[in-house]
Structure 1
Amino acid sequence: MKLMKSQTNDTLYTDVCIVGAGPGGALLSYLLNQKGISTLLIERQPHLHKSFRGELLNADGEAILNKHGLYSHIQEQGLLHLEQIQYWEEGNIIHTINPDPSKGEHHVGVHVPQDHLLEAITAQTEALSPLYQVRFNTVMTGLLRDKDGHVVGINVRQNGVPASIRASVVIGADGRYSAVRKHAGLAPEIRKHGYDLLWARIPAPPGWEPAVRMASMDGQQLALFSQYDGYVQIGWNIPEGGYAKLREQPFAPFVGKLVAAFPCLADSVAAHIKDWSDFVLLSVESSYSSKWAEDNVVLIGDAAHTMTPTGAFGLNAALEDADVLAELLMQMAQNKFTSSDVLQQLQVIRGSKVQQQLARQVHMESSFQQRYESFR
């Protein structure tokens, strides 16, 4: 089916409508367009340059991008291989973890700015398919159903104007607060992890080596991630719900702990972290939807299984979901999208690994201090 517009109303027709132009949605759109399946990708933001902090590729995500010939194009846009995981105490490295070449490891992770990732995938999609369509400033407002109650598309508001998109399949790739999930009634089980996270981003000092750096602050994890564009991303765990009380305390002693752990950051911290407003607070939780698919609707990525920042699994899991779902949708296309039963297979194929990763995050978080103490 080609993407087309009704001559009598504001209704678009497509085989697959993907809600959310993040990494999972963008990759899925590329894979479907490769096979000539008409696909409409909608995004509530006005462009691809969205605020996003989960920008670390691991071996799984890198393998998916290499599998589909995309990694080299992303590399041209710019990325950074992280060479070590380092554990620090009072300005000194107390333990390092290096990649193991015998296992094919050449880095411990890859920082990819999200706009580089999305622009590279989008450019390749545009180059291969005249059917490619993406609509920005487009907000999903509800599911479109036929007289029997079956989902046949979505209602949207594009630039403030109501419209409808009729589609054989609706994909929720719209993140942890997924509108698709909400309207489909696919409620997730939410788990709190006992901590919140303060984010900050500052310029790296001269000679800053590309690595992941870890320290312990009052028994909580402090992680620093080198970024492609010469910055350091700071992720500082604090007790859950403790930010308001923390802000009542003097700021200088708090940020002084960061400098004590990493003295080489002193100048950059002094210039760029002056008060509490220079941190962004993230409420940390994970979730898992007991059902990822219902009728003609299916969820991927954070919409189906939100992960915490620990271990940097989220981005990579979304790419893996898209890779598997693309194959399932190709099967549906061969059968003219006459049955949605195959959508249930996404969770059958991916659910076990995702649940293992969620459990691993909990273990990594609970064992961090014990692990850190063992390196001292």
Structure 2
Amino acid sequence: MDERTDERTDERPTCLVVGGGPAGMVLGLLLARAGVEVTVLEKHGDFLRDFRGDTVHPSTLQLLDELGLGEDFARLPQTRLEEVVFPTADGGTVTIGDFRRLRVPHPYVAMTPQWDLLDLLADAGRREPTYTLRMQTEMTGLLREGDRVRGVRYRTADGATGELRADLTVACDGRHSLARREAGLRPVEFPVPIDAWWFRVPRLPDDRPAALAPRAVPGRFAVLIPRETFIQVAYIGRKGADPELRARGIEAFRQDVVELVPEFRDRVDALRSMDDVKHLDVRVDRLERWHVDGLLCIGDAAHAMSPVGGVGINLAVQDAVAAATLLAAPLRNGTVSAADLAAVRARRFLPTVLVQGLQRLLHRALVGPLVEGRRPGPPAPVLALVRRLPQLSVVPAYLIGVGLRPEHAPAFARRTPARS
């Protein structure tokens, strides 16, 4: 793990990116390839975090190819998910989404530790002369001149503080974005019936490696995600149940897991305490306005997504590509305007609204009734239809894997793979 922090004494970037997640790292790389002086701030010393979104979708895999990084990515540890399947009452399964039906270069979802992907993007960025990555540097506030944002105040891991000025600041600092809050931008929140709890159990040789497999009983369900050496589990229950789960203790939680996934009976002891179960407070929200003068929000800072469908990372990356495509020339020319920032929102707002609308529909029609104990799984007519017309499985696969408005690398960012 490269924990290097790049700093230049003459640093005065044209664009300052707050947050080193997928959106921030993709944006930083693309702008640097356009010749824009860009600095990315990441508050941690590395990218190692458990249970970050580790899905790399077909559209992102194609983007990596366009950036000349596909071969490097292929060498990272990963598993491939080709189907979304659901168990049926007769002991069989029905395929809800089949990525193999997609006519794309990579008809699967790659499950790769997010820190490996972010390290790959960071290494690519460091090869660009106008790119700076500052690790262990946390934004503490915005700098303003009148009504315009002019950069940020920051604090480093050793307690040193400073200011960094830029023509444009882009908030990629997640669903609890400090930059967004300081700018006075407030998201519209939508009701959500679920929370999620993440944990892992050992993977055995007989585990099916290529399918994303939900399991359900009345009141809760789980999505099993195969990784190289373990099964990552997203346990979904009703909103606000975390205090109750923790009060019941790890033994009761293990029993709940075994009831949901009986084949885990011989491996739930891997959960030593409730500290091994990480809670995600699920939110669905979005900004109606994504910018103020001198600052733009993208990714989770602009729109928090439900984990249903696992599309949050895909949307964040697409936001970053759109932002780089639309803003590179104005940033190079020193002419970036409020209209340019509004253009990013205009391009990405409809896909955001449509995806969130679909997630909210699934919350009402499927997820909500399930966690409320009113239904053990998808409606029987839906399962019967997909079983009778398996070609319909391409529709969920496309919505999850490609999205409603896929973005492609702009010409200035495209590269062919380096040959050794």
1:132-191 Cα distance to aligned partner (Å, 9 max, x none): 211111111111122x33222111112311111110000101111111101111111122
Q: Secondary structure at the match of 2:281?
A: strand
Which of 315, 318, 325 pairs up with 1:317? Answer: 315
Amino acid at match of 1:258: V
Instruction: Report how far residue 310 of structure 1 moved.
Output: 0.8
Corresponding residue pairs, total: 365
1:233 aligned residue: 232
1:55-204 aligned within 5 A:
55-88=54-87, 92-97=91-96, 99=98, 101-104=100-103, 107-127=107-127, 129-146=128-145, 148-159=146-157, 160-204=159-203
Instruction: Report how far residue 46 of structure 1 moved.
Output: 1.1
1:9 aligned residue: none
Instruction: Report how far residue 102 of structure 1 moved.
Output: 4.8
1:279-315 Cα distance to aligned partner (Å, 9 max, x none): 1121111110111111010011100001111101111
Q: Secondary structure at the match of 2:166?
A: strand
Instruction: Report how far residue 277 of structure 1 moved.
Output: 3.2
Which of 352, 356, 365 pairs up with 2:363? Answer: 365
1:85-110 Cα distance to aligned partner (Å, 9 max, x none): 22136894432346364532664522
Assess if the C-alpha contact under 8 Å between 2:222 and 2:260 holds in 1.
Answer: no
1:16-31 aligned within 5 A:
16-31=15-30
Assess if the C-alpha contact under 8 Å between 2:143 and 2:152 holds in 1.
Answer: yes
TM-score normalised by length of structure 2: 0.80
Assess if the C-alpha contact under 8 Å between 2:76 and 2:112 holds in 1.
Answer: no
Assess if the C-alpha contact under 8 Å between 1:4 and 1:14 holds in 2.
Answer: no
Q: Summarize the Cα distance change of 1:339–1:245 in structure 2 as closer, same or farther, 3 Å threshold.
A: closer
2:281 aligned residue: 283
Amino acid at match of 1:123: D
The question of 1:15 aligning with 2:41 is answered: no
Assess if the C-alpha contact under 8 Å between 1:61 and 1:315 holds in 2.
Answer: no
Assess if the C-alpha contact under 8 Å between 1:176 and 1:302 holds in 2.
Answer: yes
1:247-326 aligned within 5 A:
247-249=246-248, 252=251, 254-270=253-269, 272-326=270-324
1:229-275 Cα distance to aligned partner (Å, 9 max, x none): 322111111111123234444754543343344333222213x1244
- Percent identical among aligned pairs is 26
Instruction: Report how far residue 53 of structure 1 moved.
Output: 2.4
Further displaced range: 69-78 or 340-349: 69-78
Q: Summarize the Cα distance change of 1:367–1:47 in structure 2 as closer, same or farther, 3 Å threshold.
A: same
TM-score normalised by length of structure 1: 0.89
1:253 and 1:5 map into 2 onto residues whose CA distance is: 56
Q: Summarize the Cα distance change of 1:237–1:261 in structure 2 as closer, same or farther, 3 Å threshold.
A: closer
Amino acid at match of 2:302: A
Aligned Cα root-mean-square deviation (Å): 2.4
Amino acid at match of 1:205: L
For structure 2, the 5+ residue unaligned runs are 1-6, 385-420
Assess if the C-alpha contact under 8 Å between 2:42 and 2:138 holds in 1.
Answer: yes
